[in-house]
Structure 1
Amino acid sequence: MSKQHQYSTTVTWTGNKGTGTSRYDEYDRHHTFSVMGKVDIACSSDTPFRGDGSRHNPEDMLVYSLSSCHMLWYLHLCADAGVVVTDYEDNAKGTMVEVPGGGGHFAEVTLYPVVTVKDASMIDKANQLHDIAHQKCFIANSCNFPVKHQPKAVEKG
């Protein structure tokens, strides 16, 4: 039997400089991402879209969501398989393509997780578990573009 889970978020635009959207260049893209009971996140659009580069943007959060979901599944699978991970870092990269006339889409996201394992004999198993994590990732399974991974496991030195 399938289970359903509901998620609720609030996005509040905070970029009204006093004249609202009277002109494209007269308002900020600032907004706040909120989830009840959690810390708010100050957001904007990306700088090519008149945004504030010091704030998170939706494109950053999409790449982060894929990376985070993969990592959480991966750590779960490692724990179940007896692979002791002592460190995990992923420098994920996404490519978004703008189309003429406005709009666009992500063409792909690639994850580059570097995993440190306690025992060198587990490196092959550690690398293989990324494929299963990818198959189970809720976010990757929801995307209409390729999500790739190029993992590297190393022994704790």
Structure 2
Amino acid sequence: MAGLAAAVLVSGMASADAAVSAPVAAKPTSIRVVGHAGGGMYDVVLRYHKSGSARVVEWVFAGKNTRSKAAVSARWVYTAPGAPMRVGAGWRKATATNSGDTWRGVSWGDVGYNGLKIPKNSRLCTQFKGSSTLACVKVK
């Protein structure tokens, strides 16, 4: 039986005395995808899991090589097939992620199962303020 643990029989005892486990819900498997844009200047990392025909976004990371110590902000946007682009999360300040202080990164969400639901085959992108370049991945 799918989703049920097997009955455990104690040797020599009748099946009525067997210990049976309760049904166990299967934990969704996270899928990790990475996208790049601008010759590696911009990155997007996404973790999501499948929920029927929808995809539940768990965690999004946006990274940018600023080549300076300038402050930058980023947001993530998505578009469902045939729909206009929508904002997934608002602008958030990116912080230095390396010792040279030129690579900036920001993340949203947590590796859990409680994020925004988007349709499969949507495109999820990260955008840095003041730049028209988007780093995108397709959510299959």
TM-score, structure 2 normalization: 0.30
Highest Rg: 1 or 2? Answer: 2
**Larger relative strand fraction:** 2
Larger relative contact order, structure 1 or 2 (CA cutoff 8 Å, min sep 6) = 2
